[in-house]
Structure 1
Amino acid sequence: MQYLLILQLLVLLTLANGTPIVAKKIFGPRFSFPLDAGTIFFDGRPLFGHSKTIRGIVGSILVTTASASLIGPDPAIGAIVAGAAMAGDLFSSFVKRRLNLPPSSQALGLDHVPESLFPMLACRDALSLTFADIALGVGIFFIGVLVLSRLLFRAHLRDEPY
């Protein structure tokens, strides 16, 4: 097991997934253009929903890429982590819209696994991650997000406790 590398990836995952939340608190509605531009899928529901913004995606990639070298991995790994985390988040939103769940609603597992699993798989070859490393990283991220989300909600940094 590559414990230090997993820890570094968990920090990058936290930055990648947390930056859009912080950006929303800092900027409010400014610069919050929906990524799907209001596109309605053939099932009559939004493609991703209004809460998935260009600001969040771009901010996540910029912050995570810039922070990577401070944490340890190459900035390219930071960009991969952020891009794959945002792809996982968009995948979750897409599926939640198909299930007719409202934006920002909780879907245990669906909200957490793709946004950690996609980046870990995307970095697997470059970082020689084993499946055990990936499983440990996803498991810690899943539990950590559940705990951290509640703390951030109490600190008024999140709108929901999940």
Structure 2
Amino acid sequence: MSTFPILYAIVLLTLANGAPVAAKKLLGARFAFALDGGLLFFDGRPVFGASKTVRGIVASIVVTAFGGALLGLSYEVGAAVAIVAMAGDLFSSFLKRRMKMPPSSQAVGLDQVPESLFPLLACQESLGLSDADIFVVVLMFFVGELAISRVLYMLRIRDQPY
């Protein structure tokens, strides 16, 4: 296991998944256009739900691209981590809507694993991660996200404690 690739991966995942939360706190309802445009899927449920916004996706990509550059990686690597993390998050939301779960509801594991595992697999070579590194980072992200979400809720940065 390599310390710097693991640290960089954790930082990038934190930026990618934290930027939408920070953007919501800073901007309120401004620019909060639902990514799915309010469209319903064939089952009559929202595709993703109103909490998945264009603002969140853009914030994630911009912040993580700059974060990647600050770490000495390319903007492209940072942006790629964000894009695939957001794809993982949308995948989770899509599945949760199919499981009849309301937007912003908690599904432990489903809320953490795709948004961390997918970008790590997609950027494994660029980040210099081994398979063991990926396992460790996903585990760290899983535990860390559950803990940090509660702290952010207590600080009134998140609307939900998860």
* TM-score computed with the length of structure 1 as normaliser: 0.97
RMSD: 0.9
1:17 matched to 2:17? The reply is yes
Which structure 2 residue ranges, 5 or more long, are not aligned?
none
Q: Is the 8 A contact 2:9 2:127 kept in 1?
A: no
Q: Distance in 2 between matches of 1:22 and 1:126?
A: 27
Q: Distance in 1 between matches of 2:16 and 2:130?
A: 22
Q: Distance in 2 between matches of 1:84 and 1:3?
A: 23
Deviation digits for residues 23-49 of structure 1 (CA, Å, limit 9, x no counterpart):
111111110000000110001100000
Over the matched positions of the two proteins, sequence identity in percent amounts to: 59
1:30-49 matches, within 5 Å, as 30-49=30-49
Counterpart residue number, 1:113: 113
The amino acid that maps onto 1:50 is A
- Alignment: residue pair count: 162
Deviation digits for residues 91-150 of structure 1 (CA, Å, limit 9, x no counterpart):
000000000000000000000000000110011133342211110110000001011111
Deviation at 1:72, TM superposition (A): 3.1
Which structure 1 residue ranges, 5 or more long, are not aligned?
none
Deviation at 1:75, TM superposition (A): 1.6
Please list every run of at least 4 consecutive aligned residues from structure 1 whose deviation after the TM superposition is greater than 6 angstroms.
none
Q: Is the 8 A contact 1:8 1:72 kept in 2?
A: no
Q: Is the 8 A contact 1:13 1:81 kept in 2?
A: yes
Q: The residue matched to 2:123 in structure 1 has which SS?
A: helix
1:133 matched to 2:113? The reply is no
Deviation at 1:3, TM superposition (A): 1.7
Counterpart residue number, 2:6: 6
Q: Is the 8 A contact 1:10 1:141 kept in 2?
A: yes
Deviation digits for residues 5-64 of structure 1 (CA, Å, limit 9, x no counterpart):
111110111111011111111111110000000110001100000000000001110111
Counterpart residue number, 1:28: 28
1:84 matched to 2:84? The reply is yes
The amino acid that maps onto 1:72 is G
1:63-74 matches, within 5 Å, as 63-74=63-74
* TM-score computed with the length of structure 2 as normaliser: 0.97
Counterpart residue number, 1:54: 54
* Between 63-72 and 150-159, the greater mean CA deviation after superposition: 63-72
